[in-house]
Amino acid sequence: MPINPADGPILGTLYGSDAMRAVFDEQTYFQRMLDVEAALARVQARLGIIPADAADAIVAAAKFENLDVAELAASARNVGYPVIEMVTGLSRAAGAAGAWTHWGATTQDIMDTATVLQSRDGLALVRAELLAIVGALAAQAERHRHTVMAGRTHLQHALPTTFGLKCVLWLQPLIAHVQRIDQLRPRLEQVSFGGAAGTLASLGDQGIAVMEALAAELGLSAPLAPWHVCRDGLAETVGLLGLICGSLTKIATDTILLAQTEVGEMTEPYVDGRGSSSTMPQKRNPIASEYIHAAARTVQAMVPVMQGAMAQDHERATGPWQAEMLALPQSFVLTHGALLHARSIAEGMTVDPARMRRNLDATGGQIVAEAVMMGLAPHLGRLEAHHLVKHACDTALAERITLAEALAREPAVSGRLDRAAIERLTDPAAYLGSSQAFIDRVLAAARAIF
Per residue in 287-323, pLDDT tens? 999 999 999 999 999 999 999 999 999 988 887 888 9
Whether 6 is in a domain gets the answer: yes
Domain count, the chain: 3
235 with 353, same domain? yes
Cα–Cα dist 29/324, whole Å:
14
**Is 382 labeled as catalytic in the residue annotation?**
no
Residue of 254 and 377 predicted with greater confidence: 254
Residue 211 lies in a domain: no
pLDDT at 275 over 60: no
Is residue 331 within 8 Å of 125, Cβ to Cβ? no
pLDDT of residue 381: 86
Do 245 and 310 belong to one domain? yes
Domain boundary among 46, 77, 105: 105
Domain assignment present for 44: yes
- Report the CATH number at residue 26: 1.10.275.10
Catalytic residue among 92, 316, 409, 424: 316
Give pLDDT tens digits for 8-18: 888 888 899 99
The two most distant CA atoms of the chain are separated, in Å, by 103
Mark whether 41 and 140 lie in a shared domain.
no
At residue 449, the pLDDT reads 95
Least Cα distance to 17 among 350, 268, 344, 347 occurs for 344
Residue 344 has pLDDT above 90, yes or no: yes
- Which has the closest alpha carbon to 58: 44, 72, 79? 44
Q: Are residues 66 and 169 in the same domain?
A: no
Give a yes or no: residue 198 inside a domain: no
* Other beta carbons less than 10 A from residue 75's beta carbon: 19
Task: Examine the residue annotation and report whether 231 is marked as an active-site residue of this protein.
Answer: no
Q: What is the pLDDT of residue 389?
A: 87
Say whether pLDDT at 44 is over 70: yes
Distances (CA, A) of 116 to 59, 232, 248, 307: 20, 12, 25, 17
Tell me: do 442 and 346 sit in the same domain: yes
> Are 166 and 315 members of one domain?
yes
pLDDT above 60: residue 125: yes
Band of pLDDT at residue 379, cut at 50, 70 and 90? confident
CB 109 within 8 A of CB 194: yes
Residues 100 and 115 in one domain: no
Task: Please tell me which residue, 225 or 422, carries the higher pLDDT value.
Answer: 225
Does a structural domain hold residue 210?
no
C-beta separation of 273 from 292 below 8 A: no
Query: Mean pLDDT for the chain?
Result: 92
pLDDT recorded at residue 256: 96
| pLDDT of res. 273 | 56
d(CA 409, CA 352): 35
C-beta of residue 393 within 8 angstroms of C-beta of residue 403: yes
What pLDDT shows up at residue 285?
85
Of the candidates 432, 435, 354, 343, which has an alpha carbon nearest to the alpha carbon of residue 137? 343
Range with the lowest mean pLDDT among 133-147, 192-206, 218-232, 263-277? 263-277
Is the full-model pTM beyond 0.85? yes
Residue 1 has pLDDT above 80, yes or no: no
Of the residues 202, 277, 414, 434, which is catalytic? 277
Residue 200 lies in a domain: no
49-103: per-residue pLDDT in tens? 999 999 999 999 999 999 989 999 999 999 888 899 999 999 999 999 999 999 9
Its domain, for residue 24, covers 1-105
277 vs 310, higher pLDDT: 310
Q: Are residues 181 and 282 in the same domain?
A: yes
Please compute the mean of the pLDDT values over residues 431-442 and round it to a whole number: 96
> Residues near 293 by Cβ (< 8 Å), separated by ≥ 6?
249, 252, 253
What is the average pLDDT across 249-254?
A: 97
* 178 pLDDT above the threshold of 80: yes
CB atoms within 10 A of CB 161: 23
Collapsed DSSP state (helix, strand, coil) of residue 421? helix
How crowded is residue 205: how many other Cβ atoms within 10 Å of its Cβ?
7
Q: What is the pLDDT of residue 281?
A: 55
- Euclidean distance between CA atoms 119 and 113, whole angstroms: 10
Residues 409 and 447 in one domain: no
318 lies in the same domain as 186: yes
CATH number at residue 397: 1.10.40.30
pLDDT at 442: 97
- Write down the H helix ranges in 66-194: 69-79, 83-94, 107-143, 163-188
Say yes or no to pLDDT of 282 above 80.
Answer: no
pLDDT of residue 376: 84
pLDDT of the residue at 331: 96
For residue 208, being part of any structural domain is answered with: no
Which range has highest mean pLDDT (162-166, 389-393, 405-409)? 162-166
Q: Judge whether residue 272 has pLDDT over 80.
A: no
Least confidently predicted of 335-349, 380-394, 413-427: 413-427
Q: In terms of Cα–Cα distance, which of 175, 206, 182 is closest to 193? A: 206
> Is residue 121 domain-resident?
yes
Residues 317, 341 share a domain: yes
pLDDT, residue 297, reads: 97
Q: What are phi and psi of 9, to 5 degrees?
A: -70, -20
CATH of the domain at 339: 1.20.200.10
Q: What are phi and psi of 266, to 5 degrees?
A: -155, 145
Residue 278 has pLDDT above 60, yes or no: no
Q: In the prediction, which pLDDT does 380 show?
A: 82
Residues 101 and 165 in one domain: no
* pLDDT for 279: 59
- Can you tell me the distance from the alpha carbon of 255 to that of 348, in angstroms, rounded to the nearest whole number? 12
Q: What average pLDDT does range 268-274 have in this prediction?
A: 74
Q: According to the model, what pLDDT value does residue 363 have?
A: 87
d(CA 445, CA 443): 5
Is residue 191 scored above 60 in pLDDT? Answer: yes
